[in-house]
Amino acid sequence: MSTVLRNFLELSYSELEELNLEAKEQRRNRVAADVIQEARLKYLTDTPGIKAVTVMFSDLEGRLHMLDYDKKFLLKSWDNLTFDGSSIRGFTAQRESDLRLALDWSAFYWAPSDVFGAGKVLVFGEVIDKGGAPYSADIRGLLKQFSNKLHAEHGYTLNAANEIEGFLFEGADAERCFHDTGDFKYVNTGGYYHSLPGDPLRTFIDTAAEVQRAMGFENEKDHPEVAPSQFEINYSYGEVVAAADQIQLYKLICRQIATQMGMTASFLPKPVVGVNGSGMHTNISISKNKKNLFWDANGEEKISKFAWQFVDRILTHGNDICLLLNASVNSYRRLDPHFEAPNQIKASATDRGSMVRIPIGNEKSARVEVRSVGPDANPYMVLYSVFKSGLHGDTAKIKNLRQAERYLPDNIYTALEGFRDSKWTTELLGEDVKARYADLKQASADRCPRLLGTIVKAPEVQFHHDVYNQLLWGQF
């Protein structure tokens, strides 16, 4: 259909980057919510080329949901946006279905029109219950409350940067068609850092990186990963809620670009047997008055005692929160030590099989890296559980805690058992939300073979049976 007569907003990538970086700086500086709200409403009112506002929120398992509101309607009704919560997994029952969306005006994005459509802007929403309180199963809201409280009481800023790996497969609906094809086809068979200019994987990475740059991600590096057709596009750290939002946008951008190229970006942790799986290495630090509290030039591995105490609490609660970091049956196929998988509950500066690694850093970049995270986990749940455990958790009285021979579960049933039995996860989520989450994961587990093992040995069978079950039931 011709678009000659249309005049919807279309901005260049450089204009988009400038707007998004300005909004990001306002968010980083914690500009007052009412000031941001007034500015955004004025912008929408004064900009005729905008036709719709895409409001985004995530369910309990981390799936991103999007609703497009006509701009004129939203300007009149932005303070009373309702939706049916009973249609969202892990949210309300049918008898109590109505929920509201409050707009987090600081989490506002201008998106490229060639990817998201002309005349649209994006904003993240906060789920509100009928009484007007933050909804308990909206983990983004829970993370934001936690972050704001720590900043108000201690001056802490929680920082995170995530290295999100994925696979690029042939076909626009490769995951949904898996039950027909029985396999995934690589678009590239190169290796780590190796991809020729112009080949499908390199073109995909370049295009996705351009979109991220335009949306204010502040890119660092991008490259093919170890496995064939595997990719990683790195970007700068951010305040914890903004960092989790960027994970959702990263996956959305990759999926959209891949679809436009007739391919599929997959964030299953272990879709293919015999090659490295995909992780979401989570780099975290805490700052106060712009000083990195994890740095100590004279400390062990040049991180502070405060940072090591944080690490010790993560190791203590490793089994408790494993289900939050590795949320699918397929995640436990990835925790295979033969493929650099971090399944050991220990900390190390060098051993990539450790749950926690201490990367080389300086005063600005000193951090700890939680490696045992699957890319299909709820990013808000991951960051909330890691930061709260590291700051407020217990420290186990285990001899040589940082190097003890302890391992994460190798199957979701063991992880579920540890999650259900843990007092700490009740403190993290509350009894109601904890039970809802566990029930969702139990149902997912029960649809898959329990004792499949890590590798299907028959040479003609190259993929995990649980991949089929998870794709069939929308668990990707």
In this predicted structure, the answer to whether residue 103 has a pLDDT above a threshold of 80 is yes
Helices marked H in 335-448:
379-392, 412-421, 423-429, 431-446
Scan for tokens 């201490």, then name that residue. 358
The CA distance from 131 to 123, in Å, is: 23
Residue 96 vs residue 369, higher pLDDT = 369
Looking at this protein, which amino acid is placed at residue 293?
L
d(CA 228, CA 199): 13
As a whole number of angstroms, the distance between CA 153 and CA 291 comes to 17
Q: Is 294 within 8 Å of 368 (Cβ atoms)?
A: yes
Q: Comparing C-alpha atoms, which of 162, 75, 102 is closest to residue 378?
A: 162
Least Cα distance to 277 among 232, 234, 217 occurs for 232
Dump the DSSP string for 277-302. ---EEEEEEEEETTEETTB-TTSGGG
CA 112, 117, 123, 127 dihedral sign is: negative
* Of residues 333, 331, 275, the one with CA closest to residue 454: 333
Helix axes 240-260, 200-214, angle to 10 degrees: 140
Q: Is 393 helix (H, G, I), strand (E, B) or coil?
A: coil
Q: Give CA–CA dist 29/129, Å, rounded.
A: 29
In sequence order, the 6+-apart residues with CB closer than 8 A to the CB of 87 are: 97
Are 393 and 386 in contact by the 8 Å Cβ rule? The answer is no
Q: What is the largest CA-CA distance in the chain?
A: 72
- The Cα–Cα gap between 65 and 87 comes to 11
Higher pLDDT, 273 or 111: 111
Task: Please tell me the predicted confidence (pLDDT) of residue 327.
Answer: 96
Looking at 120-124, 217-221, 422-426, which range is the least confident one?
Answer: 217-221
pTM, to two decimals: 0.92
CB atoms under 10 Å from CB of 343, counted, come to: 21
Percent pLDDT > 70 in the chain is 89
pLDDT given at position 474: 43
379-392 average pLDDT score: 98
Confidence of residue 476 (pLDDT cuts 50, 70, 90): very low
How much of the chain is in helix, strand and coil states, percent to nearest 5? Answer: 40, 20, 40
> How many angstroms separate the CA atoms of 80 and 101, rounded?
7
pLDDT for 351 equals 86
User: Of 97-101, 174-178, 223-227, where does the model show the most confidence?
Assistant: 97-101
Contacts for 195 with CB less than 8 Å, ≥ 6 apart: 188, 201, 202, 205, 223, 224
The C-alpha atoms of residue 267 and residue 259 are separated, in whole angstroms, by: 14
- pLDDT (0 to 100) of residue 424: 98
Radius of gyration of the chain (CA): 22
Q: Higher confidence at residue 281 or residue 469? A: 281
The rounded distance, in Å, linking the Cα atoms of 254 and 64 is: 14
What is the model's pLDDT at position 30? 96
Q: What is the pLDDT of residue 226?
A: 67
Q: Is the pLDDT at 67 greater than 90, yes or no?
A: yes
Cα separation, 251 vs 253, in Å, equals 5
Distance CA 107, CA 150 (A): 20
What does the DSSP assignment read for 147-206?
HHHHHHHH-EEEEEEEEEEEEEEESTTTTTTHHHH-S--BS----TT---TTSHHHHHHH
Helix axes 240-260, 13-28, angle to 10 degrees: 160
In three-state secondary structure terms, 14 is helix
Phi, then psi, of 239 in degrees rounded to 5: -60, 150
Higher per-residue confidence, 340 vs 222: 222
Interacting residues of 371 by C-beta distance below 8 A, sequence separation 6+: 279, 281, 282, 342, 352, 354, 355, 356, 357
Band (pLDDT 50/70/90 cuts) for residue 340 is low
Phi, then psi, of 135 in degrees rounded to 5 = -75, 130
Q: What is the predicted pLDDT for the residue at 89?
A: 83
DSSP string, 45-111: HH-TT--EEEEEEE-TT--EEEEEEEHHHHHHHTT-EEEEGGGSTTS--GGG-EEEEEEEEEEEEE-
Quote the mean pLDDT of the chain. Answer: 89
> Which two three-digit tokens encode residue 249?
């946008």
How would residue 455 be classed by pLDDT, with cut points 50, 70 and 90? very low
Least reliable range by pLDDT among 105-109, 172-176, 349-353: 172-176
- Type of residue numbered 443: A
Residue 298: how many other CB atoms lie within 10 Å:
6
